[in-house]
Amino acid sequence: MANKSTKYNFLIQQNKNKIYGYAVYMLNNRMDADDVTQEVMIRIWNNVDKFNILAAKSWIMRTTHNLCIDYLRKRKIIVQKEVEINEDITENFHDQKFENDPFLKTHVDLMNEQIEIAIQKLPDNLKSIFILYEIQGMKYKEISKLLEIPLNSVKVYLLRARKKLQEELKNYETHEVL
Amino acid sequence: MKRTKFYNTSEGIYDSNGEIKEEILDSIISAAYGDAGFFQKRGVEKLAVKYPEIKILFEEYKKTANSVHKLGEYHCPDEIIQIAKIRSGTVEHEEKSFFADLYTAIFSRPLVSFGVSAVLLVVITISIFINRQPIEHRYSDAEVELANQQAKEAFLIVSNIFNKTKNSIESEILTKRVSKPINKSIDRINDLFSQGGQNETVN
């Protein structure tokens, strides 16, 4: 039991931020992200003896992704043209590098807000790949295995996500100017 | 054979709809986000130099990519983990173990693992240097005496050679080979002078 506990604690420490971060980006709702994160951790505990600790990351992220998709389907999110800024989410994201320079910090915060809003507007299939690659730092092969899609599809979807993100940012800037 | 088709800009960079060709745009995006290959990146840079619109597009994508890559990681609140542990009954099963806590503290945090490894390495290195014994060469008295004797004999041999050489130069070479021929020549010249003087007198 001590061994199971140790393994569980190790996996949680290694993956907690990735699980939570992915859920936040996918669901755009802190409460739902909390629920998904808890659910994933419970499932890790229930299955910790069954999988190889080296391959655990892939299993954990796949479980997180599947739960997020389930939540999205249940909620039947209607894509809005304007997304409300979730202040709770932006507060949770903390970059200590710009603490000393308030002007720079504000500028960085605004840019991050813009980027996060634009990411939220991406279609779910593009958003998941974009988050896994650009933010979580996973490789093409890992994403392909996790989402069970061909490697070339991952590359194509990533390119589409980047193009879509650029369009969203341009629309956002245009809207702000108007 | 050309490496990539789209570098052949003789056909232009725009498609029939007046937009930048798909392959070129894909390369620009890959280069901006930092996952293009070396030749792909070089190709985009060359196009950016040649076509200002490509350069503008590349800069825009690069700016977005930099902003995306600066997005930090969300930190999972600890209370979520605690709630999950309570719901899964993990808390009941956890045994308070010093070694388990130590294992988790050291190996689950990469920075701590690195710090501990670095400290261990420094300690091991210092202890090796401190405990290293200097190598002392010890010779016996007999060995030293023998070495002195051999050195003296060697110097004596060299001294003899120099003396013999000196004597040889003074007694043989200088006398027989140098001064004797010179004296003979001088005598010959004197004879010639004295004969010449007698001839003048007679005349």
Averaged pLDDT, B160-174 = 83
Q: Do B71 and A115 touch (CB under 8 A)?
A: yes
| Buried/exposed B170-184: b ≥16 CB within 10 Å, e otherwise | eeeeeeeeeeeeeee
If interface means Cβ-Cβ distance under 8 Å, which residues of chain A face chain B?
A: 1-2, 4-6, 8-10, 12-14, 16-21, 24, 34, 37-38, 41-42, 45-46, 92-95, 108, 111-112, 114-116, 134-135, 159, 162-163, 165-166, 169
Give the DSSP per-residue string, B133-185. PPP-----HHHHHHHHHHHHHHHHHHHHHHHHHHHIIIIIIIIIIIIHHHHHH
| Phi, psi at A139, each rounded to 5° | -90, 165
- Give me the pLDDT at residue B141, please: 87
- Give me the pLDDT at residue A92, please: 45
Q: Which residue of A has its CA nearest to B58?
A: A166
- Give me the pLDDT at residue A160, please: 96
Residue A44: pLDDT band by 50, 70, 90 thresholds?
Answer: very high
Number of H helices, E strands in chain A: 8, 0
Q: Would you say residue B128 has pLDDT above 50? A: yes
Which ipTM score applies to this complex? Answer: 0.79
Instruction: List C-alpha distances in Å: B175 to B148, B171, B187.
Output: 40, 6, 16
Handedness of CA B7, B13, B17, B19 (dihedral sign): positive
Nearest residue to A3 via CA among B93, B87, B88: B93
Q: Would you say residue A156 has pLDDT above 80? A: yes
Q: Would you say residue B134 has pLDDT above 60? A: yes
Q: What would the pLDDT profile of A104-145 be if each residue is shown by its tens digit?
A: 677 667 777 889 889 999 999 999 999 999 999 999 999 999
